[in-house]
Amino acid sequence: MAQSYSGQDLRRQHFAGQDLRGRDFSDADLREANFAGATLYKANFSGANVRGANFTTAKLDKADFSNAKIQGANFHQAKLRATKFLKVSVDDTNSLPSVDFSKAEIQGTNFTDAFLNHADFTGAQAGLTRFWSFILYGIHIFLCLISGFTATISITFLIYFFRTSSKKPSFLDSIFIGITSIVIIVTLRTFLLNFFRQFVSTSRWLGIIAIIIVFVVAFVIAKTSEEEDFSSFIMTGILLFLILIITTNAATIFAGVEDLLPKPLGNIIQNLGRKSINNPNGTNGTWISMVLTSIVGAIFGCWFSRSAINENPQFNWLWKMYLLLATTGGTTFNQADLTNAVFTSANLKGGNLQNAIITGTLWYRGKSLERARVGNNYLKLPQVRELVVRLDGKGQNFNNLNLEGINLETPNLSKASNLLERTNLSSASFVGTNLNKANLQSVNLEKANLKQTKLNGANLTKACLTGAIIEDWNIDQTTILSNVKCEFIFLNEHPDPNSGIQKRLPHPPNIFKPGDFEKIFIGERNTVQLFIRHEQNRQALTAAFEHLIKNNPDITPEDFREFRRIDDNVLVTIRVPQYTFEGVVEQEFEQVYQQVKQESPSNSRSGEFENQPLFEFILRLINTIGENMNEKREINIHGNNSRYIENNGSYVERDYINMSQDLTKAASQIQDLIEQLQKRGVTVDVAQTQVAENIATQAKNDSTMKEKLAKWGQSLGDATVSDVVKSVVKLAIRSAGIPLP
């Protein structure tokens, strides 16, 4: 009996090169043990701790690692055919490197329910076990016996699935396969007609049974597949059903047709099916029926099989049904967690990724994904498979696709020194696309259309966004925009219909300086964003904002971090306490708004600000609420880190000036802003100009503010303010078009 090591402490033990086939290492502590080059056929490692163990080039066919701890284990170039890794786990820490399956042979290996975060499958070879390959060949032979239709489909799928390259069958290939299937069917049926006539009838019944099985399985696949057009499947399925019935059960259609042919030809045909004892009367039309139905079946078979392989939506279910059969004995990752795993240059033919978690998984230069069962994730789309393999989607349309968790990071970032070496998505369209949690590090998104794109939790570190369209894109505090390379962006997809100008930020010829983009678009953590539309009921908005502040004691008017004007609408960003559930705040705001709106549906604009534009209305409203709460502090809108986005697309990295107060009170705020800008490296002259433009913009957009600015100018001579503040006010008056006093 072979020695058992079950449950033993074998840390750092040396087993390299030894013949240990069938040995029991279950539940053993094998941390950092060395099995390099060992023969471990059918060895049992279930429940063992093999963290950091070395299995390089080991022969582990049919071994069992179920429930083992494999963090840092090295299976580089190991033979792992039909090996079990059911429910294995990694601890996903930095104490050891990720588990290494690079260049391993994993044909038929079972990773069901395995936790394989960051696992490295670079260059691994997936596929079928030898036993299942023979089973599949037998099924193909059976299908070739039924009809020319099934023979053509079977041979086409067989050649495409098992060929080394991923080249799809050409038209000439289909003609050759069709002729081959006709020859096979005619030869076999002629032999059966002469010597085993009873098997002809049997094969027809087997064909009908096969039809029913195919139709039922295909029905289940089409019904459970999210993207399939079920109605087209029904129509195609009915056509398939009729074709198979005709081609397998039409032997009497041409009964007696030999008598209608020229006598020499008729004799030849009769002799093909004649056996002196069993068939004295010739074929009686059976042979001709067989030939013609084989030809018809081959033509339809070529059409069906080529359309299925090319993933025509109407026939795609047929290829999926074949993959369901083929991958039964292949490498399976069913329900495995492959988060951030690497499959660079891996061959995944015959793999089963059904229900696998593939967030952040890297597929660069992966092979044969089209010959794997991928399930209903983003890999089901041919266009997306091409993207993740080649990392080149320049100018392509990915609108409204669900690409959550996709990994498009440029491999070997340190070597990608220029834009041409990066993942290329320039001018690509992602309108309404779900890119939440996507890895877009260093991706080239120049001129990409990101309108309404969902980017929550996405990583765009060092991505290039110059010229990108970001209209209504969806980012939050989890979106990473560190070191984004961007000179300018467009706020709208289409130019303004009146002016013909496409809103650009910043205005030409200005461009962003390094770090500007990040400062403007990275939101604070623990914030709530409220999108207020210009047509909304002012009375209901007033009640909703009052409720929000009064019923959330930790939220004060100073927590309103940003007021961004978007056309006639306003995006309000509010800082909330660390442990506040943002969704509850938004829900309460909406409930109060809807309740008051129903009570006052006339969209009353009650109060002293009823004639103001929405932007100024909200600013004044927040100030008024603060005063009513006896807030003694001036509301700077959002403190030292705030920003105010103008309607024309320009941006100001500073506080909004509260012009409702007298110049003497506003002077300190103006002075503070200039000093803040100077600390950021802005010269005093430029700082004065920027603050003056901010004040002038408010005055241009609001007649009340314009009157206030004029009064500031009139009080310059008597006001006890610095010369710097006086210069700013004078610049603002000129910019606003107000005559100097």
From 279, 301, 325, give the residue that closes a domain.
325
| Polymer length in residues for the chain | 741
Which tokens go with 54?
């070395």
Q: Closest Cα partner for 644 from 629, 655, 659?
A: 655
Same domain, 483 and 609: no
The total of structural domains in the chain comes to 4
Same domain, 461 and 561: no
Cα(first)–Cα(last) distance of the chain, in Å?
108
Same domain, 494 and 543: no
Helix (H) or strand (E) holding 546: helix 538-550
Q: Which segments of the chain have a pLDDT < 50?
A: 226-228, 251-252, 255, 273-285, 414-419, 524, 604-606, 608-609, 630-655
User: Are 399 and 430 spatial neighbours (Cβ–Cβ below 8 Å)?
Assistant: yes
Dihedral, CA of residue 383, residue 389, residue 391 and residue 394, to nearest 10 = -30
Which tokens go with 156?
């086409």
Same domain, 143 and 273: yes
User: Are 279 and 193 spatial neighbours (Cβ–Cβ below 8 Å)?
Assistant: yes
Same domain, 516 and 528: no
Single-letter residue type at 28: A
Query: Taking the CB of residue 624, how many other CB atoms lie within 10 A of it?
Result: 19
Dihedral, CA of residue 275, residue 279, residue 285 and residue 287, to nearest 10 = -30
User: Are 229 and 218 spatial neighbours (Cβ–Cβ below 8 Å)?
Assistant: no
DSSP bridge partners of 362: 342
Concatenating the DSSP letter of every residue in 217-257 gives HHHHHHHH-SS--HHHHHHHHHHHHHHHHHHHS-TTTTTTG
Rounded CA separation 355/333 (Å):
8
Rounded CA separation 184/143 (Å):
11
Q: Tokens 């359309």 — which residue?
A: 307
Greatest CA separation for the chain: 131
Quick check: is 19 in a domain?
A: no
Same domain, 445 and 570: no
pLDDT of 403 reads: 95
Quick check: is 296 in a domain?
A: yes
pLDDT of 659 reads: 61
Same domain, 194 and 267: yes
Same domain, 714 and 594: no
From 285, 305, 325, give the residue that closes a domain.
325
Q: Closest Cα partner for 350 from 503, 160, 169, 194?
A: 160
Long-range contacts made by residues 715-724, C-beta under 8 angstroms, separation at least 24?
Answer: 715/662, 715/663, 716/663, 716/741, 719/663, 719/664, 719/667, 720/664, 721/663, 721/664, 721/667, 722/667, 722/671, 724/671, 724/674, 724/684, 724/688
Which tokens go with 454?
């969902």
Quick check: is 477 in a domain?
A: yes
Single-letter residue type at 65: F
From 307, 325, 343, give the residue that closes a domain.
325
Q: Tokens 């957009």 — which residue?
A: 701
DSSP bridge partners of 439: 407, 459
Same domain, 539 and 479: no
Quick check: is 424 in a domain?
A: yes
Phi, psi of 532 (to 5 degrees): -100, 125
* Domain range for 643: 523-656
Same domain, 314 and 241: yes
Same domain, 493 and 620: no
Concatenating the DSSP letter of every residue in 282-310 gives --TTHHHHHHHHHHHHHHHHHHHHHHHHT
Q: Closest Cα partner for 458 from 473, 471, 446?
A: 473
Which tokens go with 88?
């294995």
Q: Tokens 């990275």 — which residue?
A: 522
Rounded CA separation 216/224 (Å):
13
Rounded CA separation 44/556 (Å):
63
Quick check: is 452 in a domain?
A: yes
Single-letter residue type at 640: N
Distances (CA, A) of 126 to 111, 242, 258, 307: 12, 37, 54, 26
DSSP 369: G
Same domain, 540 and 560: yes
Query: Taking the CB of residue 199, how many other CB atoms lie within 10 A of it?
Result: 16
Quick check: is 80 in a domain?
A: no
Q: Tokens 């877009």 — which residue?
A: 440
**96 CB burial (10 A radius; 0-12, 13-18, 19+):** middle
Rounded CA separation 623/626 (Å):
5
Strands 643-645 and 651-652: antiparallel
Phi, psi of 256 (to 5 degrees): 75, 10
Quick check: is 694 in a domain?
A: yes
**3-class DSSP state of 493:** coil
- How would you label 307-340 residue by residue, b for 16+ Cβ within 10 Å and e otherwise? bbbebbebbbbbbbbbbbbbbebbbbbbbbbbbb
Phi, psi of 469 (to 5 degrees): -100, 125
Quick check: is 101 in a domain?
A: no
